[in-house]
Amino acid sequence: MAREYFYWLYGRNPEDGKGFLIYACPDREGESTARTRGFEMLGGMDFKIKRLPTRDIGSASAMIRGVKLDTGMGLRRAQQRLGHDKTVKRWRMGGR
């Protein structure tokens, strides 16, 4: 059985530097759909698109933290919490 993949949007809020991770779409909808959703949801914030083998936000967050460790960002940076879609909505509404 083939493993299913999903696209996630990952980046940092330019105002406070806090990271975020938001589900975008299943792999079958394509990276261009994920990019379009990112522009719509994030209103100009920079983001990266990550293709991960999970739809679960907790698992996706753990995978992102693992990548940070693997790329030498250090334990402190890897342990930083990631905001999710509700957090990004608050940022866009002017809240913290």
- Mean pLDDT of the residues in the chain: 80
The amino acid present at 81, given as its one-letter code, is R
8-47 pLDDT, tens digit per residue, is: 998 888 877 788 899 999 999 999 999 999 999 888 889 9
pLDDT at res. 36: 96
Determine if the pTM surpasses 0.95.
no
- Residue of 31, 29, 61 whose CA lies nearest to 48: 31
The answer to whether residue 57 scores a pLDDT higher than 80 is yes
SS (H, E, C) 14-44: CCCCCEEEEEEEEHHHCHHHHHHHHHHHHCC
How far separated are the first and last CA of the chain, in Å rounded?
43
Cβ-based neighbour number of residue 60 at 10 Å: 22
Q: How do the domains of the chain map onto residue ranges?
A: 6-92
